[in-house]
Amino acid sequence: MNTILECKNLTKSFGTTKALDGVNLTIERGRIVGLLGPNGSGKTTFIKICNGLLTPTSGEVRINGFNPGVETKKIVSYLPEKNYLNDWMKVSQIIRFFQDFYEDFSPEKAYDMLKRLNIDPNSRLKTLSKGTKEKVQLILVMSRDAELYLLDEPIGGVDPAARDYILDTIITNYNENAAVILSTHLIADIEKVLDDIVFLKEGQAVLNKTVDEIRDEYGKSVDALFREVFKC
Amino acid sequence: MPWELKADRPIYAQLIEQIELKICSGIYAPGSRLPSVRDLAREASVNPNTMQRALAKLEEDGLLYSTRTSGRFVTEDDNVIYQVKNKLAQEQIQDFLKKMKQLGFENKEILSMLKTMLEEVKR
């Protein structure tokens, strides 16, 4: 089985608004996929459904053959859009917490990345800046040896140098057995790292192609195509 | 030589060109071992699958060869490298001629300007 995630006719309504409207998508292992779309296009809703934080109104998602639940949480590493870590904890305490929680968590990897990004493991989270907290959270997520990484805006709040390091981490961490799905607005920064692009527009997947197919067919970057498709 | 990737063309094709250039200019010497796909991808900040695809094409073209156990190497065949060098040179010249034509120069003028330039560089 090479497919890690499959969704069929996935729909989520909030009252009368359809956040997702019949999305069909198959994601293979070994791919790095960019989930792109303007604000309110359904990116976060999609990622939340995949994590079992929301339930679909109709249709379904299967991850490694399972609906989101206990089985999938073991193999999915999720970076939420919000910071959920306890402010009173030290970075080192959170690392121990994650180690207890996830079998596939590697503290060595986490400490190594902290060092590279100059973050003191003994500092308490409340003393860290917003951007540094985001880095810590991403380090925790990337220190797992998961089969699917779901990253909701992983590079939005960090400086360009850290952004490069994070992309570097995604490349280094690459593994044929795992897939990465990430949502972002910073397309130009990230498109070289992506295999596949999914454009979400008003809850529908309107385009699903590889980066090089897009550049080949349209003669422009994904970033330029996005600006054209979603021109306000 | 840093990796330079433009935004409007397929990344895969650009990686091929840049690796060809690195081989022709001797940065990757004939018979030498290439870094791993992962390291190359990291160096160029590109997706490992894209890098893999570019290397596979270069292998198909005979510029690289791989052994099952010890990795991927640059060909030792000077002839193959020479051909690629020639191809790259021709592309450069075509590009140059196109731009000169856009500026409105005729072949004769281009040739004499080029001669003068070359003389000056020699001195």
Write out pLDDT tens, residues A66-99: 999 999 999 999 999 888 888 999 999 999 999 9
Question: What CA–CA distance (Å, rounded) separates A18 from A56?
Answer: 11
* Same domain assignment for residues B20 and B46: yes
Going by the DSSP 8-state scheme, the letter that residue A57 receives in this structure is S
What is the ipTM metric for this complex? Answer: 0.85
3-state helix, strand, coil in chain B (%, to 5): 60, 5, 30
Question: What CA–CA distance (Å, rounded) separates B87 from B20?
Answer: 10
Query: Is B2 part of a structural domain of the chain?
Result: no
* Same domain assignment for residues B16 and B71: yes
Query: Is B4 part of a structural domain of the chain?
Result: no
Question: What CA–CA distance (Å, rounded) separates B76 from A112?
Answer: 40
Question: What CA–CA distance (Å, rounded) separates A125 from A210?
Answer: 38
Query: Is B27 part of a structural domain of the chain?
Result: yes
Please tell me the predicted confidence (pLDDT) of residue A1: 57
Q: Which residues of B touch A (CB under 8 A)?
A: 5, 7-13, 38, 41-42, 44-50
Question: What CA–CA distance (Å, rounded) separates A80 from A103?
Answer: 20
List the single residue in A30, A212, A216 with the smallest CB-CB distance to B50: A212
* Same domain assignment for residues B15 and B74: yes
Q: What is the CATH number of the domain that holds B46?
A: 1.10.10.10
Contact call for A211 and B47, based on CB within 8 A: yes
Average pLDDT for A210-230: 93
* Same domain assignment for residues B97 and B72: no
Burial class (CB in 10 A: 0-12, 13-18, 19+), A157: middle
* Same domain assignment for residues B36 and B93: no
Strand partners, A130: none
Contact call for B7 and A32, based on CB within 8 A: no
* Same domain assignment for residues B46 and B89: no
* Same domain assignment for residues B56 and B105: no
Question: Which residues of chain A does B10 touch, with a Cβ-Cβ cutoff of 8 Å?
Answer: 212, 215-216
Strand partners, A14: A17
For the cut 60, the answer to whether the pLDDT of residue A212 exceeds it is yes
Please tell me the predicted confidence (pLDDT) of residue B99: 94
**Among candidate residues B37, B105, B97, B31, the one with its CA nearest the CA of residue B65:** B31
**Chain B interface mutation, best of A2, A155, A171, highest count of B Cβ atoms under 10 Å:** A171
Question: What CA–CA distance (Å, rounded) separates A53 from A69?
Answer: 9
List the single residue in B9, B45, B48 with the smallest CB-CB distance to A167: B45
Structure token pair of residue B29:
């010497």
pTM of the model: 0.89
Min Cα–Cα distance to chain A from B16, Å? 13
Contact call for B11 and A174, based on CB within 8 A: no
Query: Is B97 part of a structural domain of the chain?
Result: yes
Strand partners, A124: A90
Query: Is B31 part of a structural domain of the chain?
Result: yes
Q: Could you read off the pLDDT of B65-122 as tens digits, one per residue? A: 998 888 899 999 999 999 999 999 999 999 999 999 999 999 999 999 999 999 988 7
* Same domain assignment for residues B71 and B106: no
Q: Which is higher by pLDDT, A165 or A149? A: A149
Grade residue A43 by pLDDT with cuts at 50, 70 and 90: very high
* Same domain assignment for residues B15 and B70: yes
* Same domain assignment for residues B42 and B69: yes
Query: Is B32 part of a structural domain of the chain?
Result: yes
Query: Is B5 part of a structural domain of the chain?
Result: no
Range A155-158 contact pairs with CB under 8 angstroms and sequence separation of 24 or more:
A155/A184, A155/A186, A155/A189, A155/A190, A156/A184, A156/A185, A156/A186, A157/A130, A157/A131, A158/A131, A158/A134
Contact call for A220 and B49, based on CB within 8 A: no
Please tell me the predicted confidence (pLDDT) of residue A76: 97
Instruction: Examine the fold and report which residue of B59, B78, B97 is the final residue of a domain before the chain moves on.
Output: B78
Alpha carbons within 13 angstroms on the beta-carbon side of residue A23 total 38
- How many other β-carbons are positioned within 10 Å of the β-carbon of residue B47? 26
For the cut 90, the answer to whether the pLDDT of residue A149 exceeds it is yes
Please tell me the predicted confidence (pLDDT) of residue B122: 77
Query: Is B6 part of a structural domain of the chain?
Result: no
Structure token pair of residue B57:
């094409």
List the single residue in A30, A192, A223 with the smallest CB-CB distance to B46: A192
User: Would you give the end-to-end CA distance of chain A in angstroms?
Assistant: 41
Contact call for A212 and B8, based on CB within 8 A: no
Domain of residue B67, residue span: 11-78
A/B interface, count of CB pairs below 8 Å: 56
* Same domain assignment for residues B114 and B64: no
The total number of structural domains in chain B stands at 2
* Same domain assignment for residues B38 and B93: no
Q: Are strands A3-14 and B64-67 parallel, antiparallel or unpaired?
A: unpaired
Q: Could you read off the pLDDT of B50-67 as tens digits, one per residue? A: 999 999 999 999 999 998
Average pLDDT for A133-140: 92
Q: Is the dihedral of CA A221, A223, A227, A229 positive or negative?
A: positive
